[in-house]
Amino acid sequence: MTLLHLRHGWFFVIFLFCGALVTANLLHYVLFRLLKRKEAAGKEVGWGLQEHLGRPARLIFLLTCVLIALPFVPGLPEQIGGVIRQGVVMAIVAALGWFAVGLVYVFQAVLLRKYDLTAADNIRARRIQTQFQVLLRWSACAVKGV
């Protein structure tokens, strides 16, 4: 009887994880597919969102699914569960940092569309580009923890 109960406990955890994963992937797919279509239609919405934010968003969704399913794992000692939970939370924080760096790239693309570097009088555009290069380097160092 306990083997049957244990199997059903794991079945529920696997079912919960897979359900959360499918929901997260469906949400990710719909969101980024809509952005890609608007970008392909020539509307100024894309700004490289798929390129810069697609992978970190997918990782955040995956780690969130793990965090949702973790409390339901049967027979997991509290101490080990706490260590795993902390590891997943730290991975989410790192993924959010990756996402933040991607947001800086997207913001750069948005602003650089406004300022033409090929213009004859491009001093302001060059200044904006230099400021973004500094911001990108700073954000990359902040994410790495240097």
pLDDT digits (tens, 9 = 90+) for 37-56: 777 666 555 567 778 888 99
Enumerate residues 6+ apart whose C-beta is below 8 A from 123: none
**Distance spanning both ends of the chain, measured CA to CA:** 54
Angle between the 78-114 and 123-144 helix axes, to the nearest 10 degrees? 170
47 CB-contact burial (10 Å; exposed 0-12 / middle 13-18 / buried 19+)? buried
pLDDT class for 144, splitting at 50, 70, 90?
Answer: low
- How many structural domains compose the chain? 1
Cα–Cα distance, 95 to 97 (Å, whole number)? 5
Residue 11 CA: distances (Å) to CA of 16, 18, 23, 95: 8, 10, 18, 28
User: pLDDT of 56-111, one tens digit each?
Assistant: 988 998 898 888 888 888 788 889 889 999 999 999 999 998 898 888 888 877 77
Q: Give residue 48's domain range.
A: 2-144
What pTM was computed for the model?
Answer: 0.70
